[in-house]
Amino acid sequence: MDLESFSRQLEASGLAEKLRGAAESPECRRLGELIGGDKLAAAARSGDERAIKGLLSEILNTEEGRRLAGRIKDAMK
């Protein structure tokens, strides 16, 4: 599945709005401050799987990251 199809499916299901809510949360803003907001986006654009995994590991090792992961998990239900 390509990114555009995935995006359309998220929008149609209503999950996109829930994920936007999580992305705008205080936890997510704080994580952006902690890791430098553009690092994850740059890693994703580059397709560097090792960099993405490293950043996600760094994020999930923070309290904010664990709370955000919980919000995303809840949104996906």
Is the pLDDT reported for residue 6 higher than 60? yes
pLDDT of residue 28: 77
Tokens of residue 75, six digits = 């949104």
Is residue 1 predicted with pLDDT exceeding 60? no
Using CA atoms, how far apart are residues 18 and 11, in angstroms rounded to an integer? 10
Q: Is the dihedral of CA 42, 46, 49, 51 positive or negative?
A: negative
The pLDDT tens digits for 7-23 are 888 888 888 888 888 77
DSSP structure class, residue 62: S
pLDDT tens track for 23-68: 788 877 777 777 766 777 787 778 788 888 888 888 888 888 888 8
Q: Which pLDDT value is given to residue 34?
A: 74
